[in-house]
Amino acid sequence: MISSLHLLYGRGDGPPTDSWRELRPERLDPVGVQAYLDEFPVPRRSCFEGVWTAWEPPRPGHDGRPPADLLARAVDSAAAGRVALALSGGLDSALLLSFLERRLPVYTLDIPGYEELDRTARIARRFGVRLEVVRVTHADFEDALPDAVLHAGAPLYNFHIVSKLLFARALRREGFEAAITGDGADQVFAGARGDLYLPFVGAFFRSAGVEIRAPYLDDDVVAAAETDPAKSALRALARGRLPDALIDAPKRPTLYPGQDKEAVKRLTLSILRSLLEEVP
């Protein structure tokens, strides 16, 4: 189990669970809720009164082993079974494809307003793989939002993360048991925060019955990674494997196109309140 993809809940000294509903909370915790709305959750404080949370972020270091060899090994071990690679138009998943080449089916999600599909298709063509496109609509995002809030156990500030739930469900419909994703690269190689992202992504995939396999979160890769905001170590790994234009491209923001963050927070908090009222 990759701990950074799990958010656990518990009461007192009782056993943890990955479902807050199993603990049957009766009220929201105003302090915990506000921390999520401020986008800085308090460690071990959930959105529910009397319920604690536990989340372990990846902690990169540098142990001297070649990160490229460790990443290649992590990708190989993730490729067993009925597995698909999730490809976007960015560096992280493209580097994983460079290790896999034609061994696995490759899927991408076409999100309205993102304009990433052409770039993703160019990456697929470079490696001679067929790109399977899952097309979703704004209505699909709206329909999936209550389930996303349910599995996150917190208000959200970005509709973009709902795409992970839609993608996992699509892979399950296609019969896949697992997906290899580039999740964790920003946290491991750039030191980005993961508390409002990684555990939610893990929960969404588990809810769809699809195992998420994230080579960048492999213990050995994390231990060998060097971290800096520019992701220099990861870009160095990609030299010679990917086009320089892709390697040197700036990080693109992943906010859902046209969204109002504060409106999303209000809406998803309202959904969370409604879900709490439905707890038996």
Q: CATH homologous superfamily for 67-247?
A: HUPs (3.40.50.620)
b/e per residue 149-163 (b: at least 16 CB within 10 A) = bbbbbbbbbbbbbbb
90-142 confidence digits (pLDDT tens): 999 999 999 998 999 999 999 888 888 999 999 999 999 999 999 999 999 99
Q: What is the rounded CA–CA span in Å between residue 91 and residue 243?
A: 10
139-195 confidence digits (pLDDT tens): 999 999 999 999 999 999 999 999 999 999 999 999 999 999 999 999 999 999 999
Give SS3 for 53: strand
Write the CA distances from 107 to 2, 28, 167, 180, 242, integer angstroms: 23, 38, 9, 10, 19
26-47 confidence digits (pLDDT tens): 999 999 999 999 999 999 999 9
Delimit the domains of the chain by residue range.
Answer: 3-58+260-277, 67-247
